[in-house]
Structures are given as C-alpha cells and as structure tokens.
Amino acid sequence: MSRRVPAVTVIGGGVIGLAIAWRLARRDVRVTLLERHTPGAGASGAAAGMLSPLKEAGEPGPFLDLGLRSLARYPEFVREIEACAEMEVGYRRDGRLDVAFGADAADGLRRQKELQETVGYTGRLLVPAELRRLEPGLAEDARLGLATEHDHQIDNERLVRALWLAAEREGVDIRSGAGAAGVETDGPGGPVTGVRLDSGEAAATETVVVAAGAWAGALDLPRPLPVRPVRGQIVVLRLVPPALQRVTWGPGCYLVPRADGRLLVGATVEEAGFVVATTAEATRRLLECAIRVVPALAGAEIQGFQVGLRPATPDGLPVIGADPATPGLHFATGHFRNGVLLAPETAELVAAEILDGQAPDPAFTPARFG
C-alpha cells in the first residue's frame, strides 16, 4: 500500500459508501474506498430496490423529509450514474400497489392514503374488480388496494455495479478485500490520523467517512456507535404468468418483479447478530405470503435467496454527519432498510459537510449517542 495521504478515506463499499466516494470524486477530491469483501457484498446486495419513503417512515418528521428529498434526487442521480457508468440501473417509476385482505388491513390502507396526502402524494383506492383488472394474478379475496404512482424502484444490484464503475472512472481508488478495523487519532480528542486495517497495517488519512453499514458498530472508533445488524432475507422466484406487473405489498411481504423475469419476495426483519443464513421459518413465511397474494406463485420455481444485515440504530434514524469530538471523522450509516433510497441525499449531505461546512439535520448527528 502506498504511503500517500488520500484526501478522504471511505470505509465501506455499499451504496452509501460508493455514492459518497463518487460524489466527492466528482468534486475533485482524491478518495480511497476500503471494502472488506467486494462492493455490494452487504445489505446493498440483498435488497429489493424500492424507493418508497412513506412505507418506511410512518409519520412526518426529519426521516420522512430525508426520504422524500432523496427520492426527488433520484432522476438526476440515475441520469448521472448511467451516463458515467454507461449502463442502465433498472430505474422504473411505475408506482406501488398495496393489497389488503382483512378489514383491519383495509382500514390501514385508508389511513395510509391520508398520510400520503399530507405530503402531496395521491393514491387511488381500488375495489376488488379494479384490483384484478390492474393485476389479474392477485388472489380473488383481496379486499382493497391502494395504487400509488409516486414511488419508484431501481435494480439495486445494477446500481451497485454502476456506482462502482462510475466511482472508478472518477478516480476513486476502490480497495476490495481491505477491511477496516478502526480509526486512529492523534490521542484522545485529537484529529483523525489514519485507518487501521484488518491486516494490522495503517493507512494514513485526515478525513474518514464511516459508511460500514451494520459493521459500523464493530469498528474500533473514537466514538463507538450503537449500530447493530438486523437480518433481512429475500426469496427470489421465477415469475410465472399471470405475471405481476408492479411492486406489490401484501400482508407480511412485498413482491418486486424485475425486468429479467425474477420476482423478489421480501423481507424478514430479524435480530440474529452477524449470522448470514437463509433459514427455514423465514423462507416458509415469505413463501406463504407470496402465494397468499398471487396464488399462481405456488408453482413458481425458487431461483435463489438473498440475505443481508441492515444497520439499525436505537432511535431508528440514520447517522449522518461529522463527529464534533473528533476532527475529520464523519458518519454515514444506520440507514436500516433505506440505504438504497437514501444514498443520493446522504452523499450530497456528506459532501456538503466535508467540502462546504454545511452540517446535516442535527436529528442525524452521531453526537446524539452518549
């Protein structure tokens, strides 16, 4: 490894770390990105790519604002990435469908429509006949639907590859296989001096962005972060006719059809530490839900599985911003199920803080954790 001092070192090659590295490099910063495995090996590679801020944030507040701002950035973000990487990332704006089977779930959809309207989203409630005209494969006993045109989706695997390519083309030095063990400072309270690698080697740097996802809490940092892994499992089916056309949320799962003929069924939310495994009950439950929503999926072939560890925080909010106690230490983690959605805005916020001195919303500051 060279002894040069890069301007910024990013720890973590998920969508967050890649987007930050790419954004900084486009603003002429020399960036090194350290990734323990290969880019996208963590939660970014096990995701359905839904861009649905309202499904994740149940109420108005800084988290919903963050999601809406990031969603608004997506068209331009995709345009730039696709141009730079010279590949498509499967960006689609064909909305989302929620399906309710029971009376309580139907009431939930009506409330969801009202919440959506408070932020300017329109949604259309669909009676069973309308539902099945829209998606003929849906179960006949579906009671109510809510069609929302505002949500988008992206192929997260293609997005990772495109960001990786784009970052390298902008000059980011991506070091696959270089896991970071911790951040070193010039004594307690002193500024960042480098990153210690798993190998024991130290890489000198004055500015670090911790974008290590679920592993952020396991790094040796001047400010330990209470970030923990929350496992998510996805089952990948092969679509069978009558194929589902759009992203559909059912009772306990979502179904995401991809242009390549796959149907992603996700996702579990499990406290399982760092154990990455496809398990019996999670698979059973996802399959049950998928067949509940689209009965013809009973005969669909299982193509594979995805498992990821999402970075969760005690208050459910991401950690974005500089650590006031350690000059040069920045965070961009804790995005939980929202890393893909929040990547564009997070990259902008981190770049603006490092280069322009503009602090992000204090709701996301690392200083909120003792």
User: In the complex with a copy of itself, which residue's Cβ is closer, 121 or 305?
Assistant: 305
Burial 258-267 (b: 16+ CB within 10 A, else e): beeeebbbbb
Region 214-253 residues binding a copy of itself, contact defined as CB under 8 A: 235, 237
| Chosen residue from 305, 315, 363, 368 binding a copy of itself by CB under 8 A | 305
User: In the complex with a copy of itself, which residue's Cβ is closer, 10 or 307?
Assistant: 307
| Chosen residue from 302, 314, 324, 325 binding a copy of itself by CB under 8 A | 302
The 143-182 contact track toward a copy of itself, x by CB under 8 A, reads ----------------------------------------
**Which stretch in 43-51, 63-71, 176-184, 291-299 sits in contact with a copy of itself by CB under 8 A?**
291-299
Minimal distance, residue 268 CB to a copy of itself, in Å: 12
Contact 351, 314 (CB under 8 A): no
Region 270-289 residues binding a copy of itself, contact defined as CB under 8 A: 277-281, 283-284, 287-288
Q: Give the CA distances from residue 104 to residues 107, 111, 129, 257, in Å, rounded to whole numbers and listed in that order.
A: 5, 11, 20, 27
**DSSP bridge pairs for 230:** 310
Please give the full DSSP string across 242-278, using - where no structure is assigned. SPP-SEEEETTEEEEE-TTSEEEEE---B--TT----
Minimal distance, residue 293 CB to a copy of itself, in Å: 12
The verdict on 291 binding a copy of itself (CB under 8 A) reads yes
- Burial group, residue 132, by CB count within 10 angstroms (0-12, 13-18, 19+): middle
Task: Classify strands 228-238 and 247-250 as parallel, antiparallel or unpaired.
Answer: unpaired
**DSSP bridge pairs for 100:** 144
User: In the complex with a copy of itself, which residue's Cβ is closer, 299 or 370?
Assistant: 299
In the complex, which residues of this chain contact a copy of itself (CB under 8 A)? 235, 237, 277-281, 283-284, 287-288, 290-291, 297-302, 305
